[in-house]
Amino acid sequence: MRWVHLTVCFVLILAVIFILDGGRRSGPQRSDRSEEFPNEWFFAQRAFPSHDINYEVYKHAVLHTRILKKQSALNDHPWTFAGPTNVGGRLTDVDMPTTGYDTIYAATASGGVFKTVNRGQSWTPIFDQALSLSIGDIAIDPSNPQVIYVGTGEVNAGGGSMTYGGMGMYKSTDGGETWTHLGLEDTRYIARIVIDPEDTERIYVAAMGKLFAKNNQRGLYRSTDGGASWENVLFVSDSTGCIDVVIHPRLSRILYAAMWERIRRPQKRYYGGPTSGLYWSSDGGDTWEELTNGLPHGSPTVGRIGISICESSPNILYAIYADNIGFFDGIYKSEDGGEYWSLTNDAGLEYLFASYGWWFGNIRVDPTNPDVVFALGLDLYKTSDGGRHWYNVSYLDQVYVHVDQHGMVIHPQNPEFIVLGNDGGLYISQNGGTAWNKSPGLPVTQFYTCEIDYQSPNRLYGGTQDNGTIRTLTGDVHGWTPILGGDGFYVLVDPSDNRYVYAEYQWGGLSRSVNGGSHFQSAKQGIGSNEPTNWNAPVVFNPASPRTLYFGTNRVYKSTNRAQYWSAISPDLSNGPYPTYYYDYNYAWRFGTITTIAAAPSDTNVVYAGTDDGNVWVTLDDGEEWTWISGDLPVRWITRVAVDPNDSRTAYVTVSGYRQDDYLPHIFRTTDAGSSWEDISGDLPEAPINDVIIDPNDPRSLYIASDVGVFFSSDVGTSWRVLGTGLPNVPITDLVLHNPTRTLVAATYGRSMYTFDLTQITDVREIASRPTDFMLHQNFPNPFNAETVIPFSLAEETKVRLDVFDMRGRKLRELVNAELAPGHHRVIWDGTSDDGFSVASGSYIYRIRTPDRMFSKRLTLVK
């Protein structure tokens, strides 16, 4: 058996733990491993086995989806927003007009642009028709607040939730009602936009270029015609982009631009270098000179740089530096327009960036007082004496501001009014940063997963980026609360007893609750501590008995006692071991871990598993022997395996990735346990698929979550339709179906969670889904506690009797005695007899009869 030892990547643990409530992290600590590899987790599965995403194919998939939405027969049926609005998510920038306080714009990492006209009490998305909802920066014309520029592509180069690159620049002349695309698509990540206050047709755009490859479309761009055309006026190298730019408020020909040498490789990260530095121009960008007097320069250790200029005293500038690793490297101040710089920070800032200053690295100076400055890092720091002393203003008066600060705007007419954007949303201070209030109503949470409580379907759960595992117990979109820290991933609620809740943070940090999620403890006893786990490690129930669970490292583990102890039931199913620290270029994006597990509902001796390096395996005997079955599948990151509820040999596999040359299907079906596979992508957009749900009422009906939306097929993939309306153009990362209420739940990556009532589409799929035979299906959940669903199918109208018997053959309950129409039916049994008394725990038989046929199955009640 092969083992992958990743211990070396766990040893460099940062000593900073943050409490989740209000933004402080709890649970897992950031480690070198979590910085080096999962930063690319989102990117990795979409790029593998190449080294970059084919953005032309991604763009075509977005455009294809737009066409399908217009043609869809289901476009009159809406999705329902399910929240949260009170948790927030990662903002990359904030801005407001120079007059008034009510209108604010918020740019998100992967959810578009939002606007409020009531000081953050409610928000409206205004950018949803754009090709990319990953936003780098917003700028408002200082002379006309109706003119807004948006640069797409979040510039923060890392994090487990790194998003798609952008699609260039956009402009609105009506306050965000409509938008015009302005080009610059190949810049991919736009860091800053500044508008010349003397000539607002003159625009400067700081562009970082591709993250995982070199390209020349980076540096500082200038437009003299309001964005109609562009020229690159500051280019240093094909690995060095422009990360920040400021303009002199009164002498607008004077500019300062921060250049950052930054490129990633599968095996290492270059987040600094000798071409990183601060430049200035006195002729509107025609010529440039590097500023070196008192500043770090020409060294391989110079990293990300942020720059700020004081509007009332423009000779005073501040620059904040990170080193090439990401550690804080100083705040520098100039009092002579940039000619000379001096270090101006005390020892209190040494932990400002932790070790990932490339994740933020901005600085803002009060427009009316050059001595008041804010440093944006892990927390928010302020000085009131020109940089001699700094203090943390993230948690004053018991109000905690979420970590990871990315954007700030200080109102030029009232510097006491400040808007802050971070990984937890938007915060407003009306007293210069002494106290903060979180803005409600921003539906921008980045979900990795979703779950619904089978017994109480108003309870929704989800794992999120940087906001832990969260839930609502009431269905209130404003009432979500955290239950586990870190980045949240898989979360499961036992369908037979919702006291048992399982949740995890990154790298498979699995925890278990026996009191409904109020308290968690580690649940990994028996799992090899040195085995690799995916950033999003799979944990799933045995569908016949939720006391049994499966968990994936590079092996499949099984627990039969609700995760109290685990035993391996497979060898290493990956192609590992891979190098653990310096990845060979040929091993791009492979972690050598299991990404998905599925046990067959009709025969749980049959278990399928998929890996991030393109393998799919099956066991037909509960792990005694495993067979590799992916020889006919493309070598791509396996995102999900799902098994037909009635046939253990029929299964579906979905994959991530983009084609480089040839056609790449993303969903496959087998009817012979993987001996052969059929491409059922049909007319789907060519984009990664993240999940597939087989309808238990009609196994010919499939629902998929893709990077460009949710799609539905009623004919096993022969044709596909967009499912419903109202979902924004963001990746859908997970789906879960609550069949008793016919509720489909979708986790979005940047716009929170949505639900869809599947009864809306019964008429659309009625003919296609009509059963061809009389069949009794297995009840679910099984075993059950409060109630169970018994499904059956009729090919024609007929008389039906459905009864429950004990093991001695005595009839306990008559569930159906009627003439029924053809179609799929389901009946709920609540564990009571005909006389209304609850029956005891144990096994029972349910039997269905028609005039000419009869079927029976066993179920189990556990109290």
Nearest to 198 by CA among 234, 248, 132: 248
Question: Does a structural domain hold residue 257?
Answer: no
Can you give the pLDDT at residue 533?
A: 93
Domain containing 846: what range? 775-861
Same domain for 680 and 727, yes or no, is: yes
Q: What is the distance between the alpha carbons of residues 237 and 219, in angstroms, rounded to a whole number?
A: 8
Q: Is the pLDDT of residue 24 over 90?
A: no
Helix (H) or strand (E) holding 104: strand 104-108
Residue 442, pLDDT above cutoff 90 = yes
DSSP state of 189: -
Q: What is the CATH number of the domain that holds 537?
A: 2.130.10.10
**CA nearest neighbour of 738 among 657, 828, 862:** 828
Residue-level pLDDT at 611:
97
Question: Do both 639 and 682 map to the same domain?
Answer: yes
673 and 790 belong to one structural domain: no
Express each pLDDT in 296-346 by its tens digit. Answer: 999 999 999 999 999 999 999 999 999 999 999 999 999 999 999 999 987
How many other C-beta atoms lie within 10 A of the C-beta of residue 228? 12
Residue 170 resides in a domain? no
User: Does residue 606 carry a pLDDT above 80?
Assistant: yes
| Confidence label for 73 from pLDDT (cuts 50, 70 and 90) | low
Report CA-CA distances (Å) from 387 to 10, 313, 318, 748.
36, 15, 9, 41
In total, how many domains does the chain have? 2
Nearest to 483 by CA among 451, 455, 531: 451
Q: Are residues 784 and 660 in the same domain?
A: no
Return the DSSP state at 248.
-
Structural domain includes residue 495: yes
CB-side neighbour CA atoms (13 Å) of 230: 23
Query: Would you say residue 588 lies in a domain?
Result: yes
> Is the CB of residue 88 less than 8 Å from the CB of residue 426?
yes
- Among 765, 785, 815, where does a domain finish? 765
- Residue 570: closest CA among 602, 539, 607, 535: 607
H runs (alpha helix) in 298-454 = none
User: 515 lies in a domain?
Assistant: yes
- Stronger pLDDT, 270 or 443, i.e. the higher one: 443
Q: What is the pLDDT of residue 578?
A: 66
Assess if residue 421 is contained within a domain: no
**Same domain assignment for residues 525 and 646:** yes
Q: Are residues 758 and 786 in the same domain?
A: no
pLDDT at 82 over 90: yes
Backbone φ and ψ for 186, nearest 5 degrees, come out as -75, -5
Q: Is residue 52 part of a domain?
A: no
What percentage of the chain carries pLDDT values higher than 70?
A: 91
The answer on 813 and 739 residing in a single domain is no
Q: Which residues are bridge partners to 334 per DSSP? A: 317
Give the whole-angstrom CA distance, residue 572 versus residue 575: 8
Is there a domain that residue 385 lies in? no
Q: How many residues does the chain have?
A: 863
Q: Does residue 236 surpass a pLDDT of 90?
A: yes
What gap in Å lies between CA 761 and CA 724, rounded to an integer? 9
Query: Which among 765, 794, 822 is the end of a domain?
Result: 765
Of 707, 735, 765, the last residue of a domain is 765
Q: What is the pLDDT of residues 644-703, one digit of tens each?
A: 999 999 999 999 999 876 788 999 999 999 999 999 999 899 999 999 999 998 899 999
Q: What is the mean pLDDT of the chain?
A: 89
Whether 675 and 585 map to the same domain: the answer is yes
Q: Is pLDDT above 60 for 201?
A: yes
Contact (Cβ atoms closer than 8 angstroms) between residue 104 and residue 418: no
Name every residue whose Cβ is closer than 8 Å to that of residue 482 and which is 6 or more positions away in sequence: 20, 21, 467, 468, 469, 470
Query: Is the pLDDT confidence value at 23 over 60?
Result: no
Same domain, 757 and 783: no
Task: Please write the tens of the pLDDT for every residue from 536-545.
Answer: 999 999 998 9
Please indicate, yes or no, whether residues 694 and 815 belong to a single structural domain of this protein: no
Domain shared by 745 and 843, yes or no: no
Mean pLDDT of 53-79: 85
- CATH code of the domain covering residue 793: 2.60.40.1930
pLDDT at residue 770, as a whole number: 59
Confidence of residue 791 (pLDDT cuts 50, 70, 90): confident
Cβ(640)–Cβ(617) below 8 Å? no
Q: 780: pLDDT confidence band, cut at 50, 70 and 90? A: confident
Q: Cα separations (Å) of 324 from 291, 303, 321?
A: 19, 4, 10
- 671, 696: one domain: yes
Residue 478: pLDDT over 50: yes
